Structure 1
Amino acid sequence: MTPFYLEPNDQDRMRSRMDEFGRAAKRVAERVGALFVDTQAAFASHFDYVHPTALASDRVHPSLTGHLLLARALLEAIGFDWSRMRMGS
């Protein structure tokens, strides 16, 4: 899983640095055959709907919603079968 900084502007210095680290993580994952989760991408689609601080007040430490987005990204990466989820009894 990549590091992230919840900022939609990819020219922001901190965001740019996290993207750089994310690219390095991807190269390592590819080299060793490890699972790779792009956490920045998991958050990106939500910036159209909420301000980044709604997902992490300091843009680094996720809120409950931010944690749910991270969990969903990980579950999708491991091939979790959402159709097997049962709601209610």
Structure 2
Amino acid sequence: MTQTTNRFLDEFAKLMTDAAGAADGLRKEAEQLFKSQGERFLRDMDVVRREEFEAVKAMAEKARAENERLEARIAALEKQLARSGTE
């Protein structure tokens, strides 16, 4: 009786292990499918990638800083011109 029960439990354990492996494979396949569909959806929506966004953001920050520097220089030159024009 002990051998029959052990064989039954061994077969049942093997079946559960195989089922868990199949479920894991199905999960991975579903994840890959959803990921590829999501990427296709974003590509079709013409969404900007994070790297591109960060590059343009850095360029805009640099341009803004340069603009502020030039504005300050123009203001100083205008002030200097106004002083020399009144003398």
TM-score (norm. length: structure 2): 0.26
Based on CA coordinates, which of the two structures has the bigger radius of gyration?
2
Identify the structure with bigger relative contact order (alpha carbons < 8 Å, sequence gap 6+). Answer: 1
Larger proportion of helix: 2
